Amino acid sequence: MKTSSPARGGSRSRRRAGRVIGRRIPRLGTRGQPEESRASILRAAVAEFAEHGIAGARTDAIARAAHVNKALLYYYFKDKDALYEAVLDHVFGGLRARVMPVFESNMAPRQKMLEYVGAYFDYIAANPRFPRVVQAEWMRAGEGSARMQRVAKEYFRPIFGKLSEVLREGIDAREFRAVNPMDFAPSLVGIIILYFSAAPLMKTLMKVDPLSEERIRERRAFVLEFVSAALFR
């Protein structure tokens, strides 16, 4: 058959059953670091889901990348779907943790908004694979999959709620232009996220590496300026 997927594989992993000539490799597991094994699987799953999407992801590939036996995936996670769900919690949980504190502080709306955008950007910039995982999620079925419902309630609603508050304050204080949160929020997310998920494409279009440190700094500045100009009076 030999369909679509470009036959990834290779590097059959030189490691042979946990022991290496001179030194002991701290073989994952075996009372070693169960936490670390789980984390390793999760890391690998993020990468795999990001590159190949939810259906294209191969559990074998995840296990291999995590240097772990496939059976261990099913020791820690019920099935592929549960693993994906764990990935979502990891990604969005991290975002929420990074971003919510900003809303708790007592800055002026302007400042608060800038901090929020900056924090959001930094989180994504530090994990440029995340947008692809995310998009794999909201690419899903027309109506809300049960999974999406949960993710929306647990992560998006609180952030969206707080963001709406800030907007309200800013608008009432005549500092912000009057925008509908339902318009502003997805626009912001789009600006931040798409740059990263389109990075591979941009790389082929320009000569610059869109993910170089310098470029990212520039991009960050642009996003803040752009949003400021668009929102602030």
Partner DNA sequence: TTCATGTAATTAACCAGTTAGTTAAGATTG
Partner DNA sequence: CAATCTTAACTAACTGGTTAATTACATGAA
- Where along the sequence are the contacts to DNA (CB under 7 A)? 1-5, 16-19, 24, 27-34, 36-38, 57-60, 67-72, 74-76, 79-81
The answer to whether residue 214 forms part of the interface with a second copy (CB under 8 A) is no
Contacts of 114 (CB under 8 A, 6+ apart): 224, 228
| Cβ 87 vs Cβ 133: under 8 Å | yes
Task: Please report how the helices 80-104 and 34-56 are oriented relative to each other, as an axis angle in degrees rounded to 10.
Answer: 100
Least distance in angstroms from the C-beta of 56 to a second copy: 3
Given DNA, a second copy, none, residue 139, with its beta carbon under 5 to 8 Å by kind, binds a second copy
Least distance in angstroms from the C-beta of 155 to DNA: 24
Nearest to 37, CA basis, from 16, 15, 62: 62
Tokens for 138? Answer: 């909201």
Per CB under 8 A, the segment of 14-22, 51-59, 87-95, 98-106 that binds a second copy is: 51-59
Report residue 93: phi and psi, to 5°.
Answer: -60, -45
Per CB under 8 A, the segment of 15-23, 69-77, 108-116, 189-197 that binds a second copy is: 189-197
Per CB under 8 A, the segment of 21-29, 60-68, 116-124, 185-193 that binds a second copy is: 185-193
